A and B are shown apart, each in its own frame.
Chain A
Amino acid sequence: MTDIATMPQPVSFGRRLKRFMADRPLIPLIILLIILVVILQILRPGIVNERWLANTAKFAIPLAILAGCQTMTMLTGGIDLSVGTVATMSAFIMATQIVNQDPTVAFLLAMLPAVLIGFVNGIGVGVFRVHPLIMTLGTSLIGTGFLQVYQRTVIASGAKIPDFLNWLGTGLTYGFPNALLLFVPVAVLIVFMLNRTGFGRLLYAVGDNERAARLSGVRYWQVITALYVLSSLLAGITGLLYIGLIKAPSLSLAEPLVLPSVAAAVIGGTSIFGGRGGYMGTIIGALILTVLTTLLTILQMPEGGRRILFGFIVLFVTAAYLRIVEDR
């Protein structure tokens, strides 16, 4: 009895839970993922099998890479809405140039617009200080315009999906999707870069307190330009992977992935205000969204309803994170 009186003020359960979520954001995310899979299994008994797992991974991988672009840009307090257009452009150019070009040349041609758009984004955000959202939206509009003009010039030559991309996008080896061969190195690279390299630290520093970073001698515009070029390059590679998965080159190929990629990064615990977050959470966020999409498809929710749900998720999670940060 006397013990209780001398003990420090007990911390309420809600506060402890908040602290726990803030310190280890991965655990509640994994729990959420498992709950979603269990719900899926209850709704459609037997759906969760080896084939379903491989399929989920196949569709989650392009989303996870694009969400990686959002994670990195969001760490600096930015966002990259041009990833959809960039991915579509490189996919479309690859599919049309492979017809009468050497694969290497086609690949380089496909990556060219990605680098250009990333560079323009970086200059606009880093030097001219345009808000990243407006800037990347603008470049994606311009990119779409260029793509439409380009489409006219290649209408006669047609398009085909290179066998290699086909293999990478849809193939399975021992039950594992081949896309993992691309994804694992990319993921390791991003995680390593964010946690163990100077560039990664600069991203966190710029996002956490830009003024302090500048005053400590960080060349803001160089960091931002490198970041947006990297983000665009990743988006371009995702486009190549995605065309192997979808197998139908169109002018709006990767557009539907843009909103989910933002949502995946936000769910994964990356703060949209910069300075907080990481890629592991984003990967789980992408898995959660892919499973959620399957679930919504089974429940026959239309595309519109899905978008509404994603919007609410982004808003709710951001508001919740803000509360947690303010609490500390």
Chain B
Amino acid sequence: MSRFFRNQGWVAGLLALLIFLFVITKLIQPGYGSGDFGSLARAVLPYAFAVAAQTVVVIAGGIDLTVAAMMALTSVTAASMMNGASEEYALFVVPFVLAMGLVLGALNGVLIVVTRVPDIVVTLATLFVLQGAALLVLGAPGGAAAEWLKASVIGTVPVPGLPDWADAWVPKALVLLVVCLFIIWIPLRRSRLGLSIYAIGSNELAAFRSGVPVARTRIIAYALSGLFAAMGGLSLTISTGIGAPIPGPYLLASVAAVVLGGVALGGGKGGLLGPIIAVFVLRLVRTDLTLLAIDPNVTAIIEGLIMVAVVMFGAFITIRGRPVGATP
């Protein structure tokens, strides 16, 4: 019971922090309105998917360094496939790219299981491979995205029964994010598979002895991570209209948001809601810095410092929380 309170308390605290930041934003920029919220949601989109990808693997007791490179690869693949193609062709591109993420993610898992090399080394090696593949697909930023896809993240969703002013606060990007994440996460969390993912992250040996198929569960966790990363890559292509082969700072951001979201880096704890709120917190801090007219390069430094501080704090908590005598 107390654990339940502690976990939910963390998410509640984050939510309070988020609301506090919104208040600060409103104070800095009294004109901050629904339009700005919409652009915040659009900016959050790729980060949120990157964080979801990292969260699944971290809960399963691993870490996935390929998140950013996977996003770059799927993004350039989508952008170069849609370049000069018809609008309808994109209907084929989207499932293809998602399947590609799923398969490449599963490949990460298979390599970890088969070679028995630690996940951090395997994903470092596949990070090189995926970066190289992204450069082969598209040497420089370019490509295109279908118009209907671009329209899918701009504007708001009309909700029946809601007045116009409230409607304006429901940006399409946010709805897309929530639908995509929870259509996968909620059934997963309730299923035997979801329980297995938590089990292998919590104690692999105990899970194995209780009959959890550890290898298969691990592969599936990495496959889901790849799928989420592919969604992130697609959202990058959709929101920018092009694909860029050099990955953005999504890897560190995903780890920082996972830690800030209350998911223990050791595995087996936490949920998806915390990290997603953490992403909003991190992005909103950036918005505030920009509104304060701080040089964007300085903003990047401050953001990096915050992320490193969060990761350091998370690691510190992990050592403190470790039971006495446990192996590191």
Contacts and interface: CB of A to CB of B under 8 A. Distances in A.
Nearest to A125: B315
A135 B308 contact: yes
A274 to B, nearest CB: 11
Interface in A114-142: 124, 128-131, 133-135, 137-139, 141-142
Interface in B273-328: 295, 297-298, 300-301, 304-305, 307-308, 311-313, 315-316, 318-319, 327-328
B206 to A, nearest CB: 22
Contacts of A7: none
Contacts of A312: 125, 129
Contact of A314 (B125, B136, B252): B125
A308 B130 CA distance: 7
Contacts of B316: 128-129
Given A134-B255, A139-B308, A319-B115, A311 B128 contact: yes
B65 interface: yes
Contact of A131 (B120, B135, B298, B300): B120
B126 A311 contact: yes
Contact of A307 (B63, B129, B311): B129
Is chain A's binding surface mostly helix, strand, loop or mixed?
helix
Contacts of A80: none
A135 B124 CA distance: 15
A103 interface: no
A315 B300 contact: no
Which of A138, A210, A306 neighbours the largest number of chain B CB atoms within 10 Å of its CB? A138
Which of A309, A315, A318 neighbours the largest number of chain B CB atoms within 10 Å of its CB? A315
Is chain B's binding surface mostly helix, strand, loop or mixed?
helix
A198 interface: no
A138 B312 CA distance: 10
A315 B111 contact: yes
Interface string A130-160: 1101110111011011101100100000000
Given A128-B316, A304-B132, A307-B131, A148 B307 contact: no
Contacts of A272: 121
B135 A303 contact: yes
Q: 10 shortest A-B CB distances, which residue pairs?
A: A311-B128, A307-B132, A304-B135, A308-B132, A304-B136, A315-B125, A311-B129, A145-B301, A142-B304, A138-B308
Interface of B: 63, 65, 111, 115-118, 120-122, 124-137, 139, 249, 251-252, 255, 265, 295, 297-298, 300-301, 304-305, 307-308, 311-313, 315-316, 318-319, 327-328
Interface of A: 79, 124, 128-131, 133-135, 137-139, 141-142, 144-146, 148-149, 152, 210-211, 259, 262, 272-273, 302-312, 314-315, 318-319, 322
